[in-house]
Chain A
Amino acid sequence: MTKITDLLKLTEAAWDIVEASKDPNLIAALRLLHERLINPQSFIVFAGETSSGKSTLINSWLKRKLLASSARPTTGTVTWIQARENIKSDTFLAIYTDTTVEEIEYQKYDMLSQSPSKDILRLKIVVNSPKSCFNGMNVFDTPGYNSLISEHEEVLKNFLPESDVVVFIVNYRVGFGMNDQELMELVGNVSETFSAMPVILVINRCPSGISAMEKRIKEIKWHAEDSLHRKTQLIMINSSMPDTAGNSTIPDADQLWDAITVHANSEERIGAIFCKSKSIMNTILVQCRTEAKKRLDAMSIDFNYVQELEDDKTILQASIGESYKIIDKYMDRLEREIPRIITQQCQILKDTLTTEAYNTNKWTEARGCTAYIISHFIPFKVKGIARTIEDYVKDNFKKMDEELSERANKSIHALNSRAECIESPELSNLIRSLAINLAGRIGGNSASSLVNGLGGACGSAAGLGNLAKMCVSNLGKLLGRKFGREVYIAIGKIFTKRMVTVLTAALQVVIDAGIFIYEAHKWQGKLVDKACKALDEWEKSTLSEVSKSMIPEYSKDNKALIDDIYIVLLKDIDGAIEVSKHKYTEREKNVQQEYIKQIDEIILNLENIK
């Protein structure tokens, strides 16, 4: 823990320096880092099917019935329970989508928790820590997913990277179903991208006296691990009997909470927090130094050189314009080619499904054939089409990235060669630092990516473990973030998912039509007819999705990334022009020099903490 304390002291020592930068993002970043170091919190996400008993298990932690729990779905939104020391009474808070926070009465909380209004982002309860080892623990109770898996996915995608432990709850009697499979796969996918966070598999409401070797338990664990693609820690919780008055009681789940505490306080986790925090601190300081150096250079620039800076702006603006053109070129291609692929593949699919249906024995296999065509054949092939498109998009994005990077490199080169020719060493330095900054931004090393991390998809109101997010942006730096890649990951998969969802809806109609009850000599024709109609519908809505939503989104997000990369540089130049308008005394310049020295010293101290 001492290294965490050292780091904490350093953040305090750096306070004035970072504040002097006047950069609200850096100040906010330091504040958050400081908070997290004072109070190293842990984040535990509870996930599981509706009525698997998530809320009940959280109640067992608090040893009281704080959260509503019953057989019908009770949790309509994410509820965040934070355990702190010395809290006299529970505080209920509503966090709105506009990130405002409001303290509310229990009654309102109770109402909102079951039927949240649209503007609710999540609910929060601050409670007194049941035990000192639970101080700083943040538990997230998520809604059961019913079939709203895609919405749930968005919630989990935001939460999982921040989590220290995922508790996955399965009801013994219900077993591990298809929804569980999908959710667990999601947990596996998300945690594969980040470090493999521990997953505790809780089988809830087990009959007393059964062992982990029991067939059903083994099946659930097997299925869960097949979906997660790694081992889980299994904890079995027995059903709790109602009390004499017939009221439900809180089950004994101490072993679960002990296990959570072990993970939350593990050496690895503390080590990870340290590494992440150190790296964030470093980014903040380096950013401060870069800004300070830029200012110092600008202070020394003769106002006569302002025209030179204007020229640099022109270079960057030209680069933005050309980058847009590159994006447009690729978007045009996708817009033209994707529909062609879809239409053609859809036709092939219709042809093969017709053959498939007519090759079946018409007297005996109506029901089976329908199930096969609807539940396997079409979805399997459509997923294949979706993957073809995903690959096509991915490959095109890769090429676009290369072109955009090349364009940016051209600007870097132009700036550097200008820096070579300029007499004023200060201006030359400034231009060179613009080039370096641009190079860094292509690699993802930008201040805004750090700040985006701080804001987080969860919103700063949640303040939820942004460290992981920041670490991700730093990881991006290491791996070389490229244009488009993140955008692709963000919306490419969602698009595929949407394609499949649309298909499921279209096919449901076929199932509802109950084709298999038709007479033997007619059902094949009907099935083919209905299935083709469903495919037509799917094709139509997918094509419209491509042109109305997918391509515009790709285009918008990629252009936003270009803006993100260049516009800050343009602002830098404007800032420098502004600074160079004033005449600075030697003393003022010395003060700035001194400030840079102080930053250097702290960076050196930071390096020494190991």
Chain B
Amino acid sequence: MNHKILKIIDDVIFLKLVERYYSMPKSADNSDNSVEGVLAKFKSDLKTNRYIIPVLGTQGCGKSSFLNAILFDDIILPVDADETTCIPIEVSYTNNPVAEAKAIFKDGSIVDVPCNESSLATYVHQDKNPANKLNVLKIELKVKNPLLENGVILVDLPGVGSITAENQKITFDYIKQAVGAIFILRTVPPITKSESIFIQGAWPLLNKPFFIQNKWTDESDAEVLDGKEYNLDILSKIASDCHLPAHDLNIDTICIKWALDAKVKDDLVLLDKSQIPAFIDKVKLFTADWRIQLVKCRRDLLLNILYACKSKIDNQVSSVSTEKEKVKIQINATRKQFEHELRNKKKLIIECKTYKKEQTKEIYKLLLAKCQRASEELRNAVREVIASGIVDGTQLESAYQDHLNEQNEMIFKEIQPAIIRIFQEVQARLSEIEDFSFEASLLNSTGHFKEQSKVHEFYSPILDTVGGLAGGIYGAQVGIIGGPIGICVGTVAGFFIGGMIASFLGRKAHAYHLASQKEEAMKQLFDHIECFKKETKEAYKNTIDNCFNDIDLKMDSWLLSREEEFHNSIEDIERNINKTEEEKHYLLTELQKDQDILEIFNNQLKEICQP
């Protein structure tokens, strides 16, 4: 399907027509928004089929075992309870029946690695490569497995929870690019506080989270069910806190151990019992559907552009084929209507900005209170730690770090849902602002409203159902072409929130030489707590401010584009009505020709993804 779209984009005539009739909306960030540039970017996106799905879970929950079970017939990825895989392993598809592995280093060099557990462990295991002294960036593994055929890349990521700032950053960088993620949960203990904070941070950025609960062989069905019920409750709570759709929330119970045993013994019954095949089917279904959705989305965007071109032609046709005076009257009426709509939109945008401002103030208040509280708790924790006789620099620092993490998580847990709530409200308000009457007022009465609204229908259900703040399938694509502003905002929000999590959860106390003298060490830590309080406040504030400024810019430039577009089309019409009859006739023939060609493209596009 992709190639059909590519063929259309590559068509010189298509490019010419679009350039002639379609004015690209202004971009807020001065990026290349020439039709050619945008279509080129669109094309390159179409060509790369990379659907990243990270596998996430706390250390020792069985991430690597899970990947071994679903991808290999043997244990290939190193499995060890403690600090395994501090380096991401990307597993993607190859036609070659023999699996291949490469170690990619931070300096760009690449080394071929034999695809077996012990060789891989050399690079990814904490014992063999402590603190990543080898400077490995990632491991790329290719395997012939039908699950990956669609372009799916599964990533074994550093454990959730006790991870370092760097691991945290790597994890979130993957999450930001991911189309979905697989979270591995446990029966015992059920989702812990730090897991739930991690999920709370990652989920809003994902379009599709898969939750699986790994059943240990010593766990009875009742225990697994209990754990699952409890985990589901926690997940529902996170979803409701973060205002995420949770109607299809589910946890699949699988047994990794059985799946691995089954593969060794070639026992298909046991494999089925492990529920791994059923889960694989589910992921496959999702990725296949995702591909179709992506193509559909791209098709819809192009259709949208074509509609815009067609309406412009219609406008012109109508302006040359109608009496001059009649057109003038029409222009006046349209102008009035447009200005009325414009005022309305401006009012709504101002209201939206005011709402944002007020809510931001509330968040700042909450932030202030939470940071104050955190600093008080931290100081008392330090006093307690020192009073208990821990005065050695490293140990004092490490105890302090524990408490710092605790407070950091507390602040994040409270603040993040509040921020998400505002984003979602702003997003909803903006999609309301973007109703049709505005677009329609740009056109005269040639019956295109209906067609236009049809295009919009492609978006609206998506606005409602897309889970990820990042704007889902459309977010990634629409951003380039300038689709519904609500989705653009979502993309912005997703970007910022993603950044926020990465920078906060893994924050570390500055390494320092704590004085050996008790009072002096305490003073040093108290100073750090003040810094922490100030920096945390500032960092959250900056995140929110930057993001909201960006949204403001987007709103303003959207409005400006609409105005410009309108004036341009009026100018075109005015130019047309002053043309001689001969010129008019020529133009009409040209327009008719273009319209016919557009219709062909239109039909070709419509055929794509038709059932």
Q: Which B residue's beta carbon lies closest to that of A356?
A: B398
Contact of A376 among B190, B193, B380, B390 (CB under 8 A): B390
- State which residues 213-262 of A face B: CB under 8 Å: 222-223, 225-227, 229
Contact A371:B388 (CB < 8 A) given known A226-B379, A227-B380, A345-B189: yes
Cβ contact within 8 Å between B391 and A387: no
Query: How many angstroms between the C-alpha atoms of A387 and B193 in the bound complex?
Result: 9
Query: How many angstroms between the C-alpha atoms of A388 and B395 in the bound complex?
Result: 25
Contact of B233 among A222, A355, A375, A395 (CB under 8 A): A395
Binds B, one of A60-68, A336-344, A521-529, A561-569: A336-344
The count of residues in chain A whose C-beta lies closer than 8 Å to any C-beta of chain B is: 37
Contact of A368 among B193, B230, B391 (CB under 8 A): B391
Contact of B402 among A177, A355, A376 (CB under 8 A): A376
Q: Which residues of B contact A344 (CB under 8 A)?
A: 188-189
Cβ contact within 8 Å between A337 and B391: no
Contact code string B276-294 (vs A, CB < 8 Å = 1, else 0):
0000000000000000000
- State which residues 159-198 of B face A: CB under 8 Å: 188-190, 192-193
Query: How many angstroms between the C-alpha atoms of A105 and B444 in the bound complex?
Result: 103
Chain A nearest CB from B396 CB (Å) reads: 8
Q: Which residues of B contact A369 (CB under 8 A)?
A: 395
Q: Is the interface of B mostly helix, strand, loop or mixed?
A: helix
Cβ contact within 8 Å between B390 and A375: yes
Q: Which B residue's beta carbon lies closest to that of A176?
A: B383
Q: Which residues of A contact B193 (CB under 8 A)?
A: 384, 387-388, 391
Contact of A399 among B233, B390, B403 (CB under 8 A): B233
Query: How many angstroms between the C-alpha atoms of A399 and B392 in the bound complex?
Result: 46
Q: Which residues of B contact A131 (CB under 8 A)?
A: none
**Is B376's beta carbon under 8 Å from chain A?**
yes
Contact code string B367-398 (vs A, CB < 8 Å = 1, else 0):
00000010011011001110111111001001
Query: How many angstroms between the C-alpha atoms of A579 and B600 in the bound complex?
Result: 89
Chain B nearest CB from A326 CB (Å) reads: 14
Q: Which residues of A contact B233 (CB under 8 A)?
A: 395, 399
**Is B10's beta carbon under 8 Å from chain A?**
no
**Is A181's beta carbon under 8 Å from chain B?**
yes
Q: Which residues of B contact A405 (CB under 8 A)?
A: none
Cβ contact within 8 Å between B188 and A392: no
Cβ contact within 8 Å between A372 and B376: no
**Is A9's beta carbon under 8 Å from chain B?**
no
Contact A375:B392 (CB < 8 A) given known A344-B188, A395-B234: no
Cβ contact within 8 Å between A181 and B189: no
Query: How many angstroms between the C-alpha atoms of A395 and B238 in the bound complex?
Result: 13
Query: How many angstroms between the C-alpha atoms of A376 and B377 in the bound complex?
Result: 15
Q: Which residues of A contact B403 (CB under 8 A)?
A: 380
Q: Which A residue's beta carbon lies closest to that of B192?
A: A388
Cβ contact within 8 Å between A371 and B389: yes
Contact of B188 among A340, A368, A380, A399 (CB under 8 A): A340
Cβ contact within 8 Å between A372 and B402: no
- State which residues 368-386 of A face B: CB under 8 Å: 368-369, 371-372, 375-377, 380, 384
Cβ contact within 8 Å between A365 and B392: yes
**Is B223's beta carbon under 8 Å from chain A?**
yes
- State which residues 391-416 of A face B: CB under 8 Å: 391-392, 395-396, 399
Q: Which B residue's beta carbon lies closest to that of A341?
A: B189
**Is A325's beta carbon under 8 Å from chain B?**
no
**Is B226's beta carbon under 8 Å from chain A?**
yes
Contact of A396 among B192, B230, B391 (CB under 8 A): B230
**Is B399's beta carbon under 8 Å from chain A?**
yes
Chain B nearest CB from A481 CB (Å) reads: 21
Query: How many angstroms between the C-alpha atoms of A376 and B226 in the bound complex?
Result: 33
Cβ contact within 8 Å between B398 and A181: no
- State which residues 543-568 of B face A: CB under 8 Å: none
Q: Which residues of B contact A227 (CB under 8 A)?
A: 376, 380
Q: Which B residue's beta carbon lies closest to that of A337?
A: B226
Query: How many angstroms between the C-alpha atoms of A375 and B399 in the bound complex?
Result: 10
Contact A375:B389 (CB < 8 A) given known A336-B226, A388-B193, A395-B230: yes
Q: Which residues of A contact B392 (CB under 8 A)?
A: 365, 368, 371-372
Query: How many angstroms between the C-alpha atoms of A226 and B407 in the bound complex?
Result: 14
**Is A583's beta carbon under 8 Å from chain B?**
no
Chain B nearest CB from A151 CB (Å) reads: 21
Contact of B390 among A223, A368, A395 (CB under 8 A): A368
Q: Which residues of A contact B379 (CB under 8 A)?
A: 222-223, 226
Cβ contact within 8 Å between A333 and B226: yes
The count of residues in chain B whose C-beta lies closer than 8 Å to any C-beta of chain A is: 33
**Is A1's beta carbon under 8 Å from chain B?**
no
Chain B nearest CB from A262 CB (Å) reads: 27
Q: Which B residue's beta carbon lies closest to that of A188?
A: B376
Query: How many angstroms between the C-alpha atoms of A369 and B380 in the bound complex?
Result: 21
Q: Which residues of B contact A479 (CB under 8 A)?
A: none
Cβ contact within 8 Å between B223 and A376: no
**Is A148's beta carbon under 8 Å from chain B?**
no
Contact of B223 among A223, A340, A371, A375 (CB under 8 A): A340
Chain A nearest CB from B338 CB (Å) reads: 52
Q: Which residues of A contact B377 (CB under 8 A)?
A: 226
Q: Which B residue's beta carbon lies closest to that of A389?
A: B189
Contact code string B221-252 (vs A, CB < 8 Å = 1, else 0):
01100110010011000000000000000000
Chain A nearest CB from B8 CB (Å) reads: 53
- State which residues 340-359 of A face B: CB under 8 Å: 340-341, 344-345, 348, 351, 355
Q: Which residues of B contact A368 (CB under 8 A)?
A: 390-392, 395
Cβ contact within 8 Å between A380 and B380: no
Contact code string B252-288 (vs A, CB < 8 Å = 1, else 0):
0000000000000000000000000000000000000
Query: How many angstroms between the C-alpha atoms of A344 and B227 in the bound complex?
Result: 14
Cβ contact within 8 Å between A371 and B395: yes
Q: Which residues of B contact A181 (CB under 8 A)?
A: 380, 383-384
Q: Which residues of A contact B230 (CB under 8 A)?
A: 392, 395-396
Query: How many angstroms between the C-alpha atoms of A158 and B184 in the bound complex?
Result: 45
Q: Which A residue's beta carbon lies closest to that of B393?
A: A368
Q: Which residues of A contact B189 (CB under 8 A)?
A: 341, 344-345, 388
Q: Which residues of B contact A365 (CB under 8 A)?
A: 392, 395
Query: How many angstroms between the C-alpha atoms of A337 and B222 in the bound complex?
Result: 11
Contact A372:B223 (CB < 8 A) given known A396-B230, A399-B233: no
Q: Which residues of B contact A392 (CB under 8 A)?
A: 190, 230
Chain B nearest CB from A504 CB (Å) reads: 11
Chain A nearest CB from B342 CB (Å) reads: 48
Chain B nearest CB from A331 CB (Å) reads: 13
**Is A178's beta carbon under 8 Å from chain B?**
yes
Q: Which residues of B contact A377 (CB under 8 A)?
A: 399
Contact code string B51-95 (vs A, CB < 8 Å = 1, else 0):
000000000100000000000000000000010000000000000
Chain B nearest CB from A527 CB (Å) reads: 13
Query: How many angstroms between the C-alpha atoms of A97 and B60 in the bound complex?
Result: 53
Query: How many angstroms between the C-alpha atoms of A344 and B218 in the bound complex?
Result: 13
Cβ contact within 8 Å between B384 and A372: no
Cβ contact within 8 Å between A337 and B192: no
Q: Which A residue's beta carbon lies closest to that of B391?
A: A368
Contact of A229 among B188, B376, B385, B389 (CB under 8 A): B376
Q: Which residues of B contact A399 (CB under 8 A)?
A: 233
Cβ contact within 8 Å between A226 and B390: no
Q: Which 7 A-B pairs have the closest CB atoms?
A: A368-B392, A375-B388, A372-B395, A226-B376, A376-B399, A371-B389, A341-B189
Mind listing 14 A-B residue pairs with CB under 8 Å? A178-B384, A181-B380, A181-B383, A222-B379, A223-B383, A226-B380, A229-B373, A337-B227, A355-B82, A372-B392, A377-B399, A380-B399, A380-B402, A388-B189
Which residues in B have some Cβ–Cβ distance to A below 8 Å?
A: 60, 82, 188-190, 192-193, 222-223, 226-227, 230, 233-234, 373, 376-377, 379-380, 383-385, 387-392, 395, 398-399, 402-403
Beyond A337-B227, A376-B385, A384-B193, list 4 extra A-B contacts (CB 8 Å).
A229-B373, A336-B226, A371-B392, A376-B390
Which residues in A have some Cβ–Cβ distance to B below 8 Å?
A: 177-178, 181, 185, 222-223, 225-227, 229, 333, 336-337, 340-341, 344-345, 348, 351, 355, 365, 368-369, 371-372, 375-377, 380, 384, 387-388, 391-392, 395-396, 399
